[in-house]
Structure 1
Amino acid sequence: MARGYALSLWQLEANPEEGLLIVPVQPGLHDYSSLMGYVNPLDTESYVRTRFLDFLLQASSAPGRPYTLVLDEMNLSHPAQYLAPLLSSMETGDAIELHG
């Protein structure tokens, strides 16, 4: 249902999938790095971005467009554990620090 709704919001666009990202979430996920990205262990000067982060950046650059993010199976997990930086930023308006 969420997928159909998201695609309907972009039905007049050439690529309706651009406004939708479905991310599978595991019940035991407790580290936000698999969603928000992480420092490359082989090159500590480089940050590995994820599809989730790229999608958030794309959505934030076009605030007038409807973007839909579906965290699949989120009901089986603890979202506050791995979305803490994002939720905090939404509440305070502060920037999200991904990599010092």
Structure 2
Amino acid sequence: MNEQMQKITDFLKYKVTNQNASDTDKVAWMFTVEKPELLNKAIKAVFPDPTDQPGNEAVERLREFIKEHLLVFHEADIQLDTEAVDYTTIFVAFFL
């Protein structure tokens, strides 16, 4: 990673660990930067059957997945209020 990208990453990490980011942004951070392997696990949990269609049940599986993996957020020093996450936004951004 070049120096400029590292500075940007460090700044964003500061924002998500110091409560300046929304809980939705914190989930996006974890899925894209901090723990991208978590996104792969989430995809399998949200769509356990590859022929499943997007819908309310899939969004609910996403909600349950995040609640079940709350420890991963805490280990990354990210405090997450699962009730404040906009699961629809996360679902649309990562699963559609």
Q: TM-score range by the shorter chain?
A: 0.3 to 0.5
Q: Say which one has the larger Rg.
A: 1
Q: TM-score, normalised by structure 1?
A: 0.31
More helix by share: 2
